[in-house]
Structure 1
Amino acid sequence: MSGTETFGGMAEALATARVVEPAAGDHIVPGHTHESACLNCGTALIGSHCHACGQAAHVHRTLGAFFHDLLHGVFHFEGKIWRTLPLLIAKPGTLTREYIDGRRAGYVSPIALFLFCVFLMFTTINSLGSSLMPSSATAMDAMAQQQRDELKALEAKRVTVTDPAQTAEIDGDIVDAKASIEGLEKLKANDLNFNFGNDNTDIEGLKSSPLIYQAVKVWRDNPSLALYKVQTYSYKLSWALIPISVPFLWLLFPFSRRFGLYDHTVFVTYSLCFMTLLAVVTMLLVRIGTPSLGLLALVPPLHMLVQLRGAYNLSWFGAWWRTWFLSMFAFTALSLFAVLILVEAGG
């Protein structure tokens, strides 16, 4: 994605989030309300906002104020973001329950936060993509060089060894190293990570599933275009994760009169916000080479556990067993989302 497309995505994401969260960025500096009537509808003003149409009483007309509102809309959400994020991280169940119960004025709405988190994640992917996912050719070059170094060491050792048993063992290692180098060079030449061959014989068996067959064929014929389309559709269809995930959460509370689909939708959306931010943090840690990233694998289930317990007022045991199922459901939902993206990209 080019820089122009990145800024275009930013504008699109901010515009959408602003529609969902209309109060975001409407910052009124004390002393700036000078109009006596609303400039939008003409209603007499009795405060910092028109009580008829909701427009701010003071309308900025300077370039500096324009960019102030832009930065304010991105980073401040009128102060809501700084109250929402700590709860999303440390007390997600409390945040979910507060929003469901109607105490919303101090928090960013789930869908507005989700849109911004998705934009942030894909911006990070575009910025760090080359360092996060080196090409298959680069990876195979590195492995082949390692094999060549080992081959040289084995050949040098072979010259100094006189014992027949050790000589035979080293000769076997040399043969294996040469075979590995040859295999890696063939893989690189054929680009097997992205190419299924030069004809259709190897994917004929997929014709029973036309959508999957078409997706694989597009990926094989033009991997660069397919990768671009996967990224584009992943961004545009990210919202589909919400309706895909909600029915799975409903299965944890079937036919419950206390909790309805609305509760589950708020839960899922805030949970996806956290997981998206976690993905951003993980990518940044990978970029700087931070060790022990495996510990981050424990964060999603722990967050689910805390959110389930707080949002649905469960016991630790009730939240614990539901977390196990929710983790499996989350994997299933991601798999379904991946299939959706592949099908769309192959269309």
Structure 2
Amino acid sequence: MSGKNKLRTDKTCLNCNHVVEKRYCSNCGQENIDSRKSFYELFIHFFEDLTHYENAFWKTIKNLITKPASLTKEYLSGKRMSYLAPIRLYIFISFVTFLTINILDSTTEEHELEKSKPEKETLSSVEKQIIELQKSGEIGKKEADSLLLELKTAKELKKEKYGDGHFFNTDYKTIEELEKDRNLHPEKFNALEYWFLKKSIPIHQKYTNKEIKDKFFESLTHNIPKSLFLYMPLFAFALWLFHGKKKWYYFDHGIFTLHYFSFLLLMILLSVLIGYIFSYFDNWFFTSLVVIINFGLFIWTFYYFFPAHHRFYGESRTVSFFKSLALLFINFFLILFIVIALVIYSFINIH
């Protein structure tokens, strides 16, 4: 598109005022073309940019999934125009993945509520029917009370079987009760348990169990992308520790990490979409199919790191295999620590 744009007769650069001898300014690199375009030129320029982005995007995604480490090697060798930049790729996939999860979670919750409505309405109508029968004199008060008691007992048994919805629940209604019990039985509490209970009581005084659960998962969901982004430098640092400092820069490990985490997020996105789509086909065949597909995705996701690590760093298969195992082992504990910290942070931030 650039070569088709007409050059300005004025050789002064519009950006930095230097003299432009040819098409591009030797000082700032801006093309010396007329900035005012017709609608046709603007449309063609937009279409070409979109096509280029789309081609680069699909080529990047294809290589990311099917050719472990190829994107990283291509990028570091200088072949960058045909692919999306690593940070741009990660941000785009991360945004789409977590946005999709949030949207589908909301849709699923609404679907579950719709499914549970008939049951609630039935129970409510039964109670109303008993009361109406009592008012009309068809049954006595004692019989009506007995039927309502049986209904209440059935509800409580169901609650006991399927859970009462308590979330971060505590038996203490006030902090005073907690302090009194702690003074009488100091051996019952360690520092972490005491802190947790002290934090839980005001939250339960302020919100219902459902509100606490919603707020907790809302905070957790919002903080996962941040935690993942903060974790990536640690992953790259672990790679840096296991490989030669003269041959590999931390930057190289960072690019490998961005591509690897983009792949992981893409697999999560695929798994979520497949599960959501097939959830509308409520039979054993599609349920089994989802299990098989997700199992295949899990195997590929777990295996992916081994060939990616081997091909990128160019070590023997044996050395690469044991280094990969050690890296996965180390990162398992790093992830566990970050997840625990994220859960605590999300709980603290329930206001």
- Name the residue aligned to 1:186: 160
Give the distance between the partners of 1:208 and 1:186, measured in 2 at CA.
28
Is 1:229 the counterpart of 2:219? The answer is yes
Note closer, same or farther for the CA distance 1:302–1:67 as it changes in structure 2 (3 Å cut).
farther
Q: For the Cα contact (< 8 Å) 2:168–2:200, is it kept in 1?
A: no
Note closer, same or farther for the CA distance 1:256–1:77 as it changes in structure 2 (3 Å cut).
same
Cα distance, 1:268 vs structure 2: 1.2
Is 1:80 the counterpart of 2:61? The answer is no
Specify which of 41, 55, 66 is matched with residue 16 of structure 2: 41
Cα distance, 1:31 vs structure 2: 2.7
Note closer, same or farther for the CA distance 1:84–1:33 as it changes in structure 2 (3 Å cut).
farther
Give the TM-score normalised by structure 2.
0.63
Is 1:52 the counterpart of 2:23? The answer is no
Cα distance, 1:219 vs structure 2: 7.6
Q: For the Cα contact (< 8 Å) 2:93–2:266, is it kept in 1?
A: yes
Specify which of 220, 231, 237 is matched with residue 241 of structure 1: 231
Gaps in structure 2 of 5+ consecutive residues: 120-152, 183-187, 279-288
Letter in 1 for 2:164: N
Give the distance between the partners of 1:64 and 1:273, measured in 2 at CA.
37
Give the distance between the partners of 2:34 and 2:197, measured in 1 at CA.
58
Give the distance between the partners of 2:198 and 2:75, measured in 1 at CA.
43
Note closer, same or farther for the CA distance 1:29–1:310 as it changes in structure 2 (3 Å cut).
same
Give the distance between the partners of 2:101 and 2:328, measured in 1 at CA.
24
Letter in 2 for 1:186: E
Note closer, same or farther for the CA distance 1:281–1:29 as it changes in structure 2 (3 Å cut).
farther
Give the distance between the partners of 2:345 and 2:44, measured in 1 at CA.
39
Cα distance, 1:32 vs structure 2: 3.5
Q: For the Cα contact (< 8 Å) 1:249–1:326, is it kept in 2?
A: yes
Is 1:98 the counterpart of 2:99? The answer is no
Cα distance, 1:306 vs structure 2: 1.7
Q: For the Cα contact (< 8 Å) 1:75–1:81, is it kept in 2?
A: no
- Name the residue aligned to 1:300: 301
Q: For the Cα contact (< 8 Å) 2:310–2:317, is it kept in 1?
A: yes
Q: For the Cα contact (< 8 Å) 2:60–2:84, is it kept in 1?
A: yes
Q: For the Cα contact (< 8 Å) 2:7–2:34, is it kept in 1?
A: yes
Q: Mapping of 1:188-267 within 5 angstroms?
A: 190-192=164-166, 194-197=167-170, 199=172, 205=189, 207-208=191-192, 222-253=212-243, 256-267=245-256
Classify the secondary structure of the residue corresponding to 2:271: helix
Cα distance, 1:311 vs structure 2: 0.7
Name the larger-Rg structure.
2
How big is the alpha-carbon RMSD for the aligned residues of Structure 1 and Structure 2? 4.4
Classify the secondary structure of the residue corresponding to 1:190: coil
Gaps in structure 1 of 5+ consecutive residues: 1-27, 145-178
Note closer, same or farther for the CA distance 1:48–1:64 as it changes in structure 2 (3 Å cut).
same
Specify which of 100, 103, 117 is matched with residue 127 of structure 1: 103
Cα distance, 1:257 vs structure 2: 3.3
Give the distance between the partners of 1:122 and 1:67, measured in 2 at CA.
32
Q: For the Cα contact (< 8 Å) 1:40–1:55, is it kept in 2?
A: yes
Q: For the Cα contact (< 8 Å) 1:211–1:343, is it kept in 2?
A: no
Note closer, same or farther for the CA distance 1:54–1:229 as it changes in structure 2 (3 Å cut).
farther
Q: Report Cα offsets for 1:214-240 as digits up to 9, x if no partner.
A: 886788653322222222222344320
Residues matched between the structures, number: 283
Q: Report Cα offsets for 1:64-116 as digits up to 9, x if no partner.
A: 98899889888854853344223222223222223234443433222221111
Give the distance between the partners of 2:154 and 2:92, measured in 1 at CA.
46
Q: Report Cα offsets for 1:141-168 as digits up to 9, x if no partner.
A: 79x9xxxxxxxxxxxxxxxxxxxxxxxx
- Name the residue aligned to 2:147: none
Give the distance between the partners of 2:21 and 2:334, measured in 1 at CA.
50
Q: For the Cα contact (< 8 Å) 2:306–2:320, is it kept in 1?
A: yes
Letter in 2 for 1:52: N
Q: Report Cα offsets for 1:271-318 as digits up to 9, x if no partner.
A: 001101111111111111252122211112221112111110122323
